[in-house]
Amino acid sequence: MTGRLLSEEGIARFGEVARSHVADGEVPGLVALVARGAEVHVEALGSLSVGGPPVRRNSLFRIASTTKVVTGIATMAVVGRGLVGLDEPVARILPEPAGPRVLRRMDGALDETEPARRPVTVRQLANFTFGFGACAEMWSSPGPWPVVRAAEDLHLATLGPPAPGDQPDPDSWMEALGSLPLLAEPGERWLYNTGASVLGVLLARATATPFDEMLAEWVFEPLGMRDTAFYARDPARLPTAYGRGPDGLQVFDPPEGQWSRPPAFPDGAAGLVSTADDLLGLGRTLLAGGAPLLRPEAVAEMTRDQLSAEQRERARVFLAGRTWGLCVSIVTDGPRAGSIGWDGGLGTSFLVDPALGLVVVVLTQRLFDTPQAPQVHVDLQRAAFGATR
> Do 340 and 331 form a contact (C-beta atoms < 8 A)?
yes
CA atoms within 13 A on the CB side of 251: 11
- Which pLDDT score, from 0 to 100, does residue 140 have? 87
Q: Reply yes or no: is the peptide bond before residue 186 cis, omega within 30 of 0.
A: no
- Which pLDDT score, from 0 to 100, does residue 196 have? 98
Q: Select from 157, 177, 207 the last residue of a domain.
A: 207
Q: pLDDT tens digit string along 306-332?
A: 999 999 999 999 999 999 999 999 999
Q: Are residues 268 and 308 in the same domain?
A: yes
Q: pLDDT tens digit string along 357-380?
A: 999 999 999 999 999 999 999 999
- Is 156 a member of any domain? yes
- Is 274 a member of any domain? yes
**Residue 44: how many other CB atoms lie within 10 Å:** 18
Q: Select from 207, 239, 263 the last residue of a domain.
A: 207
- Is 212 a member of any domain? no
- Is 163 a member of any domain? yes
Q: Select from 153, 174, 207 the last residue of a domain.
A: 207
- Which pLDDT score, from 0 to 100, does residue 247 have? 87
User: Which 8-state DSSP code applies to residue 176?
Assistant: H
- Which pLDDT score, from 0 to 100, does residue 2 have? 46
- CA 122 to each of CA 84, 249, 265, 343: distance values in angstroms, whole numbers, following the listed order: 8, 40, 20, 23
Structural domain of 318? 8-65+220-386
Q: Are residues 199 and 253 in the same domain?
A: no
Q: Are residues 243 and 373 in the same domain?
A: yes
Q: Are residues 246 and 199 in the same domain?
A: no
> Do 261 and 233 form a contact (C-beta atoms < 8 A)?
no
The enclosing domain of 291 has a CATH number of 3.40.710.10
Helix (H/G/I), strand (E/B), else coil: 178: helix
Q: Are residues 198 and 234 in the same domain?
A: no
CA atoms within 13 A on the CB side of 98: 0
- Which pLDDT score, from 0 to 100, does residue 3 have? 61
Q: Are residues 302 and 330 in the same domain?
A: yes
**Residue 20: how many other CB atoms lie within 10 Å:** 12
Q: Are residues 61 and 93 in the same domain?
A: no
* Sign of the dihedral through C-alpha 311, 312, 313, 314: positive
d(CA 37, CA 356): 9
Q: Are residues 231 and 178 in the same domain?
A: no
- Which pLDDT score, from 0 to 100, does residue 25 have? 81
CA 143 to chain centre: 27
Q: Are residues 127 and 265 in the same domain?
A: no
| Measured torsion, CA atoms of residues 169, 175, 179, 181, in degrees rounded to the nearest 10 | 90
Q: Encode the chain (389 residues) as per-residue pLDDT tens digits.
A: 346 799 999 999 999 999 999 987 899 999 999 999 999 999 999 999 999 999 999 999 999 999 999 999 999 999 999 999 999 999 999 999 878 999 999 999 999 999 999 999 999 999 999 999 999 999 888 899 999 999 999 999 999 999 999 999 999 999 999 999 999 999 999 999 999 999 999 999 999 999 999 999 999 999 999 999 999 999 999 999 999 999 899 999 999 999 999 999 999 999 999 999 999 999 999 999 999 999 999 999 999 999 999 999 999 999 999 999 999 999 999 889 999 999 999 999 999 999 999 999 999 999 999 999 999 999 999 999 999 98
Q: Which of 184, 173, 199, 208 is nearest to 135 (CA)?
A: 184
CA atoms within 13 A on the CB side of 70: 38
Q: Are residues 142 and 264 in the same domain?
A: no
Q: Are residues 178 and 312 in the same domain?
A: no
- Is 56 a member of any domain? yes
**248 CB burial (10 A radius; 0-12, 13-18, 19+):** exposed
Q: Are residues 346 and 372 in the same domain?
A: yes
- Is 213 a member of any domain? no
- Is 278 a member of any domain? yes
* Sign of the dihedral through C-alpha 290, 81, 322, 363: negative
How many residues in total does the chain contain?
Answer: 389
Angle ∠(280,294,352) on CA atoms, nearest 5: 30
Number of domains in the chain: 2
- Which pLDDT score, from 0 to 100, does residue 87 have? 98
